[in-house]
Structure 1
């Protein structure tokens, strides 16, 4: 279990992010076309997981915009933006914003990503949603960078030097 803050108050997650150097846990998420998305779909690519509570907040929306720009300047890298928002809302947001470089994925159907990655909020006003964090994974599925953002309302670090 990890402790983060939401507007200054302590909230708990169900666990810890995967350790740097460990194999990233496989996942099944739901994409914008309601198709399943798996980490293994991106074998051979570097993957950044931009994990957040909901696109309906300014900070989450800003992170998607910034990672969309960031990944447009990278080669062999995909950014998967993970929340519990429905795929319809994720698609509507990216369509309205003209964001075409990120992949949106929802944990609404299986509810296993948040628990397997240790980011499920277990108390506080956002209980049941996902804590803001970033996980970077290399071409072989190894975790090479993690950040559990200490204050959920703050943006993550976009300077992922591993890439």
Structure 2
């Protein structure tokens, strides 16, 4: 079984939370029993999270050797220059080592749901949207990459993992996917 969930902002990618006060978890979305996340999406990121009850499938979806591209829409603070985009395309050296080259292109603001809470807005600082695709999945990698080139991330939405896309799911909604 493979499930696509649009994980809302401020939800943990696990079914329980032992912190005080407890944070929102996947348990509130009525998912089928025995599924677990195939990969992670940060607490403050949104979008496509795949869940499965099949360990082999989870490995195939998450292991970098299988090169499943992960595509994100990233709202950044500032106006990206050609040099900054080229740095992302070439790969960067982060604190945990070099990244693989990313595919990146500027995009128009995508048609997304409102975020709760809203992204901070500052009249004196422009923002822009990028579509960024990576083949890795390190901790907070996209945020660290954009920050490293001087474009802090304001909002991060994963829209695809491999051939699986968000395709109209609203935050908190899920659907079963074909596994073949």
TM norm structure 2: 0.28
TM norm structure 1: 0.30
Larger radius of gyration: 2
